[in-house]
Chains A and B, each alone.
Chain A
Amino acid sequence: MEVFGHLAGGFATALQPINVAFLLIGVTLGLVIGVLPGLGGTSGVAILLPISVVVARGDIQGANTTTAVILLAGIYWGALFGGVITSILFNIPGEPWSVVLLFDGFPLAKRRGKPGLALTSSFLSSFVGAFIATLLFTFFAQAIADQALKFGPPELFAVFVLSFTTLIGLGAESPAKAVAMLAFGLLLAAVGFDTLTGQQRLNFGSIDLLAGIGFVPVTIGLFGIGEILASAEEQGIGHMEQISAKLGFQDLFEAMRALRSRIRLVVSNAVIGFLFGVLPGHGATAASFLGYGLARQYSKNKEDFGKGEISGIMGPQATADSAGVASLVPMITLGVPGSPTSAVIMAGLFVWGLQPGPLLFVEHQDFVWGLIASIYLGHFITFLLCLMAVPLLASIMRVPYAIITPFIVVISIIGSYSLNNSMLDVLITITFGLIGYWLRKMHYPLAPLVVALVLGDSTERELRKSLIAGQGSIGIFFSSPLATVLMIASFVLLMLPLVRVLIARARGKAAQPVPSAD
């Protein structure tokens, strides 16, 4: 097996002290960047791009282009892990791909008083997801990248529709409210310039709104600020519940037991995340929502989702990390970046004098296999660092209310402002904080809104590209077996609430007391 020989050579490169040192620097910086809202993995990699040039040209003894790519990729791995920390502890997403952790990570940490378990479960599933993705990267990178190019707009559109209908058809207490929230998210995603024609829409004359409504300010408001307001009302101001988290190895053991009982979910989500991440332009964020939908779809405890269900943490986290690793595949094999972060890393490759694409595997084997080996090492080191930090991180939940509440508001505002240096984003955050607070009181599900806002742009783009390709005919969505299966599955899921009602009536359950509309 030629691959094993290459991989052994890769480990020999990656384990050189200088490479291990830069990997450690990279993942530590990535963790810090991931924890801080407003600083993303992409901006972190971009900030260190000039330093990587110095590293790549050999100014530091023993360093070369492999060291440089290990440094940049290490930041990405650290950010993939670190983004979940504020999601779980403060209900504020540290990174876009950790938005989905707000649904079950925060409830497990706060309402069920298990921040250590929530963090450990997330790190463990991240590690397993990334490990599986790296295995797939090692053995099937070229073959998968070739297939990914055949995945066209109709298939992508069908995947997005399936994600949406999963949220309506399964688990939602009120399908009507889920539909309204989903459509609200799609509408918000449409604000600003139309990316295909350049026309302005829904901006009502505002120049600031031309850039659109970002999902980060909205989600920070809906979840971060909204949760603070809801807590203040439920428990009274100044009396936020204190979490007595038991810290230590029991969290790790409990998370490992949880992983063992969910291993099929984590492995299948990691594989799906990898296949999704390989598709150019679809990184970890979209994959995380897809992973959440799948976790809920195949769970026996659907009613526990949104209340701190561990599958709601492990499923999306394995998918997101796997997709993050996979986003490097098209960059390395085809010269097409799979995500914004891999686009910045690819820019680094050009600056260092390397040409990403199929020839990279042939002409720079040391570089490619050194990078692949460093992905294994990088995730292992990140996982260990995160585990060591869990007790410290979980103890944050014990900080007094008078400090932690305004501090969450401060962090929320930094997170939303720093995206575009825009005060409008700050106002959007506060406004959606109030909207989220009210919608929560009225029992509207917030997850469909956020998922639709995140995927809305991509969904519209793939829909219209498909229609253009099909000359306006919807037959294009049934032109391939994959697209047909996905569209039929979406339709079945959409009809599920109606079918449930009809079955219940047929069994005479309609005669029983009806639940309140509230």
Chain B
Amino acid sequence: MRPYQVGTAAAIVVIAAVAMFDSRGAFNIAVGTSPGDVGASWYPFWSAALMALGAVWVGVRAFTIPSSGESPFESRTSVLSVLKLVIPMFIYAFSFQWLGFYIATGLYMAFFAWYLGHYRWWAILAVGVITPVAVYVLFEAAFRLILPKSIFYLMGFPF
């Protein structure tokens, strides 16, 4: 566990360092700032500094305290389980620009019904159709919440 703890703390320090560099104006209060005000960069700079301090503290403790020696992952299968969810999720989100929300949602739901549920074809079809239709009725028709449309929308389709 120690390398992972140190690596995570180091990543936090890097994020904090980038933020501190971006907020280096904390030491040069902008013209026009009200008397007594610390300026726009002071707060993010010192927040980042505090974040780095906390992470360094975590890193030092990870080095000085005996590690349990265990891996953060239970097994290779468990990592694969996570990836099987993450990869379709990213594909789903990035497909919005072409397929729009409704087609992408239908395919995404149907994929899981087939891949994980091993349902019959008509159940897969039902899940893939009912979900986007229900979302459309509830969010778009009833509450006027506009969700991304597909490339077919310009051809006159409603989704």
Contacts and interface: CB of A to CB of B under 8 A. Distances in A.
Interface of A: 33, 36, 38-39, 47, 174, 176-184, 186-187, 190, 194, 196-197, 199, 201-202, 204, 225, 228-229, 232-234, 236-238, 400-403, 405-407, 409-410, 413-414, 417-418, 421, 423, 426-427, 430, 433-434, 437-439, 441-442, 444, 456, 460, 463-464, 467-473, 514-518
Nearest to A516: B68
B8 A438 contact: yes
Contact of A468 (B4, B37, B78, B131): B37
Nearest to B79: A233
A201 B44 contact: yes
B159 interface: no
Contacts of B43: 186, 190, 460, 463-464
Contact of A406 (B62, B77, B112): B112
Interface string B60-73: 01101111101011
A456 B48 CA distance: 13
B116 to A, nearest CB: 4
A439 B38 CA distance: 32
A413 B113 CA distance: 19
A199 B40 contact: yes
B109 A471 contact: no
B72 A441 contact: yes
B127 interface: yes
Given A403-B117, A464-B37, A176 B57 contact: yes
Nearest to A191: B44
A496 to B, nearest CB: 16
A430 B61 CA distance: 30
Q: 5 shortest A-B CB distances, which residue pairs? A: A180-B54, A402-B117, A183-B51, A179-B54, A194-B40
Contacts of B39: 197
Interface string B119-146: 1000000010001000100110001111
A402 B66 CA distance: 41
Contacts of A232: 78, 81-82, 84-85
Interface residues of B, number: 83
B90 A430 contact: yes
Contact of A426 (B22, B82, B93, B105): B93
A438 B58 CA distance: 15
Contacts, number: 223
A406 B117 CA distance: 11
Interface of B: 1-2, 4-5, 8-9, 12, 15-16, 19, 22-23, 30, 32-41, 43-44, 47-51, 53-55, 57-58, 61-62, 64-68, 70, 72-74, 77-79, 81-82, 84-86, 88-90, 92-93, 96-97, 101, 105, 108-109, 111-113, 115-117, 119, 127, 131, 135, 138-139, 143-148
Contacts of B72: 441-442
Given A180-B54, A470-B36, A187 B81 contact: no
A196 B62 CA distance: 40
B85 A237 contact: yes
Contact of A187 (B48, B64, B92): B48
Given A233-B73, A409-B92, A426-B93, A177 B58 contact: yes
Contacts of A176: 54-55, 57-58, 61
Contacts of A438: 8
B62 to A, nearest CB: 4
B68 to A, nearest CB: 4
Contacts of B67: 516-518
Nearest to B19: A187
A441 B23 CA distance: 30
Nearest to B112: A406
A237 B57 contact: no
27 contacts: A33-B143, A36-B138, A36-B143, A38-B139, A177-B58, A179-B51, A179-B53, A180-B58, A184-B12, A196-B34, A196-B37, A197-B37, A229-B85, A232-B78, A401-B116, A403-B109, A409-B92, A414-B101, A417-B148, A433-B89, A467-B38, A468-B35, A517-B1, A517-B5, A517-B61, A518-B62, A518-B68
A438 B86 CA distance: 13
Nearest to A204: B22
Contacts of A178: 54
Contacts of A470: 36
A174 B58 contact: yes
A92 B40 CA distance: 33
B116 A236 contact: no
Contacts of B16: 183, 187
Given A197-B40, A402-B116, A409-B108, A183 B131 contact: no
Contact of A442 (B5, B92, B119): B5
A468 B36 CA distance: 4
Contacts of A439: 8
A187 B47 contact: yes
A405 B37 contact: no
B40 A402 contact: no
Given A232-B84, A407-B109, A471-B36, A418 B44 contact: no
A423 B149 CA distance: 12
Contact of B81 (A36, A233, A515): A233
